[in-house]
Structures are given as structure tokens and as C-alpha cells.
Amino acid sequence: MAGATQKRRAFYVTTPIYYVNDVPHIGHAYTTLACDVLARFHRLDGRPVRFLTGTDEHGQKVAKSAEKLGIAPQEFCDRVSQSFRDLAAAWDFSIDDFIRTTEPRHIKASQALWQRLVASGDIYLDAYRGWYSVRDEAYWAEDELSDDGQGGKLAPTGAPVEWVEEPSYFFRLSAWGERLLAFYEDNPDFILPTSRRNEVLSFVRGGLRDVSISRTTFSWGIPVPGDEAHVMWVWIDALTNYITAAGFPDTESEAWRTWWPADVHMVGKDILRFHAVYWPAFLLAAGLPAPSRVFAHGWWTNEGQKISKSLGNAIVPGDLVQRYGLDQTRYFLMREVPFGQDADFSHKAMLQRVNGDLANDFGNLAQRTLSQIAKNCDGLVPRPGELARQDEDLLARIDGLLDTVREQMEAQEIYQSLVTLWEGIGLANSYIASEAPWSLRKTDLARMATVLWVTAEAIRQLAILVQPVMPGACGRMLDQLGVPPEARSFAHLGPAGRLVPGTPLPEPQGIFPRIVEAA
């Protein structure tokens, strides 16, 4: 019983595990950031949270990258995997677990999943004859390919493909089409956004082919149990990471009962098919519950151009942070487009957000309220008199934000939640502009104190609610409002946590500086 109650409240969110053939770029930072925002939100909302990320270390792509550098694959993986941990630290990602697919716990889980699939009759031995893209680590059918103009062929992703012929184990995916369609029907929110769901449905309705799930022409992978000439196809190995980290194969464990099924697998749109078709089929065939949701986000371009190695226009996560600040960068990435759509990075758009939304709207609101309190209220939280209608109205609107934002975050609508919160900031700005406490200073000190208290109380709640996206800046804002660390969760929103008159406040300091810089 306890398990059931716990699962209802627990929240398990995962990023894809990143290939170690490349150093972290904006795409990686973006996916993990979105998960960090969700993880922080649900923690602040009082739920037990598990936030998983990690690295995908097997397969031909990684083996080839190591070979190019002339080092052993494991040593290469150790090196690059660390750069993803460093990214997590630099971006303040609140991860609970970092999984590497070369760890013993994962090898054990992958082999256990394989054995379940053998036992259920979903795996058979045959031979694969067809196209393979090492860059995508994916098999492609002849009719999906195009000519590269030089006698070769390209996958729909633009990646080159090579002809492969080798003995291979297959997963009977063709037998799962109808059951997958029934599963999608029973779980209409399994794939979000809805446009992506429709793509997956039509792919599955088009008929599924069995999928080759082992390779024999290289050895950098997890050995197939009972047939060591084969290593597992890197995708079956990689997808299994989500259950490894939830305690699989020990399905009696506390971890398993608490965390599985995962609440959200966050992925880029390019890897949706693996997560929304193959993964639930593997799990259902193995007699395990499928995850509750796969959310596919869009891709970033750089100043209108596709990001590619050949163009050399990668956006380096560390550069953004250095140039604009961490909280600013986190805000921009979550606020620029509705989460799920493709987005374009531009310096101009970044400056507009930093100077408009942050410095002008949120920063100024806090700055002018706090500096007036410092100057005119002896640096203490002011004592409000009786509240007027407009004071009550503002507080009621701010008190009501959590309900709206919670609903949005349940659907991973991070952008919409920021729009909602900035509407709140807009209301507080209009309030202070029309109540003009700076003029009241000469005419009505009691009313001035009330207006400043109401505004500061609104800022307190806004800062608490914006924490998942900008933990550093909001933390500093709450410091300046004298809100102790233990009073910063959502349980303290609304009347439960009102600012206490008389609390001494530190000297106010600007939180969101304007950036004056030519493009």
C-alpha cells in the first residue's frame, strides 16, 4: 500500500544518455536543462524526485572515435563521460544519478532484459542484410534512402549508410504493431506534443519490421547472453539504462517499486521512434510496464543555420554561460519557444530576453521595491495596514499562480509556465506603477508601507515559482527578501508564508544586470 501511495507522488525523469563520441553542445545542455527544471519543480512541490542522466558508451560509433585517437575505448569513454558530468555541475543540474552503460549494474540489467525477451519468444537468430548508419546507430530500409550524388547512399537524417551482412538476433517487432496501437490508444498522453504522437501513429500503422538487435563485426558492446560472438545493438543496451537506474532486474526492490514506470523520458525529436516504438515494445514483451510519457522536444539552429560539425557552428554551453550568465542562459532556452518546437539561437534574441524580461521586468520590480524598503523603511520588511481592494486583488492573482503553473508543468509546458509567471510579474509592475509608493513617501507613510509590503510579498512568491528555471538568481532574490532557505518550497506559497513585517533585510543588490553589447 505504501508503495502505491509513494508511486503516485514520486517523479522519475530521464534525459537520453549521451553518446561519448562528441563533447557536450547546446543540444545536450538543452535536454538536460528541461529535465532539471521539471525535477526542481516537482521537488519544490513536495514530491520525491529522481533525475537521471548519463552516457551511452557502447557501439561502433564510439569504438571508431576511440580508434581514431588511438586509445582504448574504455579510456576514451572515461574521458568524454567526465565532460558530461562537468556540464551538469557547471549548469547546476540537480541530478540524482549519472549512469554509464559500461557499468556492471547496467551490463547485468541489459542481459537480464535480453533473457526475458528470449523467454517470451520475442528474439530469434537470423542474418541481417541491409543498410546501417554508424552515425545514427540505426538500420535503414532501402526505400528510406537517397543518393548522395557520389555513388553512395544517405539516410533520411543525412547520415551516410553502409551495407552490412552478418548473423544477427532479431526482435519480433512485427508482432507488436497492433498491441502498440492499442497501448497508444489507452494512453493518449504517452507521446507529447500531439503532433509528434501523430507521426508515431502513422509510422506504426504503416507496419513494423522485425529489428536486428545484435552485431558481430565488432566487439565494443554488451555480450549477448549465451552467444558471445554477438554484442547487443547499442540501442537496446542504451534504452535499458532507464530501468537499470530504477533497480532492474530486482523488480522486488524498493527502488523499482518507487520509480518505475518513469514519469517522463525527455528526448529530442530525432530519437523519438526509438523511445516511443521500440522501447515500449521491448518492455511490454518483457512483461514490464512502459513509461508514462515520452516528450519530444525540438532542435536548435544557430542564427538561422543548422548546427553541424562541417559548418563549425556548434554552440558551446560554457561560452553562453560566460557571455550571458547561467540563469540568463537557462531562462532564454526555456522561454524562447514553446517547448516541443524548433528554436533558433540568436544573439539579438538573447539580448532582448536578458534586458527585457529579466533586467526590466523582473529585475527592476525587485530592485525598486527593495531599494525603497532599504531607504524608507529602515531596511526592515514593512508593516502593512489594512489592505485595499487592489492589494487583495494582486495577492489573490499571485496566490493563484501555482495552480496554473502546476497544470502546465504536468504537461511539460515549461514555456507556457514562464508566460504565466511573467504575467504575474506584469501585474506586480502595474500595481507598483499605479500605487506609486515613491509619491506616498511624502503624503502617506502608512499606505506606502502597505504598498511596499504587498509588492515584496508578490516578489517573494514569484521568486519561489521561478526557482526551477533560475535557481541562482531566485535564491539571491529570496535572500534579499529575508526568506530563509527552509521557507522556499511551494508549501510556503500563498497566505502560508507571507513576509513577516519587521524582518531585517540585507543591502539590496541588482540581480539581472543589463547587457550592453553590440551584436
Q: Give the residue with the Cβ less far from ligand MSP, 28 or 293.
A: 28
Among 11, 30, 41, 259, binds ligand MSP (CB under 6 A): 30
If one asks whether residue 317 binds ligand MSP (CB under 6 A), the answer comes out as no
CB neighbours (10 Å) of residue 477? 28
Query: Which residue from 19, 139, 259, 490 is in contact with ligand MSP, where contact means CB under 6 A?
Result: 19
Q: What residues numbered 225-244 form the site for ligand MSP, per CB under 6 A?
A: 238-239, 241
Residue 53 phi/psi, 5-degree rounding, is -140, 180
Nearest to 282 by CA among 115, 434, 429, 396: 115
Residue 16 binds to ligand MSP (criterion: CB under 6 A)? yes
Alpha-carbon gap, residue 7 to 11, rounded angstroms = 8
Determine if 268 is a binding residue for ligand MSP (CB under 6 A).
yes
Distances in Å between the Cα of 132 and the Cα atoms of 114, 159, 162, 275, 309 are 22, 10, 5, 19, 21
Stretch that binds ligand MSP, among 37-45, 74-82, 114-122, 265-273 (CB under 6 A): 265-273
| Segment lying near ligand MSP (by CB under 6 A), choices 2-10, 17-25, 42-50, 215-223 | 17-25
Binding test (CB under 6 A) with ligand MSP, winner from 10, 27, 190, 402: 27
Residues 6+ away with beta carbon under 8 Å from 280? 180, 183, 190, 290, 291
155 vs 238, beta carbon nearer ligand MSP: 238
Q: Decide: is 93 part of the binding site for ligand MSP (CB under 6 A).
A: no
393 in Cβ contact with 434 (< 8 Å): no
Q: Which three cell numbers stand for residue 140?
A: 535503414
Please enumerate in sequence order all residues whose Cβ is within 8 A of that of 42, keeping only pairs 6 or more positions apart, or say none: 11, 13, 49, 409
Residue 13 within binding range of ligand MSP, rule CB under 6 A: no
Grid cell locating 96:
540524482
Closer of 30 and 415 to ligand MSP (Cβ):
30
54 binds ligand MSP (CB under 6 A): no
Asked whether the beta carbons of 414 and 466 are under 8 A apart, the reply is: no
In whole angstroms, how close is the CB of 391 to ligand MSP at the nearest point? Answer: 44
Residue of the chain from 13, 17, 109, 448 that contacts ligand MSP (CB under 6 A): 17
Q: Is 73 in the site for ligand MSP (CB under 6 A)?
A: no
Is residue 31 a contact residue for ligand MSP (CB under 6 A)? yes
CA proximity to 136, closest of 106, 110, 107, 156? 156
Among the candidate windows 69-77, 187-195, 299-307, 405-413, which touches ligand MSP by CB under 6 A?
299-307
Applying CB under 6 A, does 270 fall inside the site for ligand MSP? yes
CB atoms within 10 A of CB 446: 13
Catalog residues that contact ligand MSP under the rule CB under 6 A.
Answer: 16-19, 27-28, 30-31, 56, 238-239, 241, 267-268, 270-271, 299-300, 307
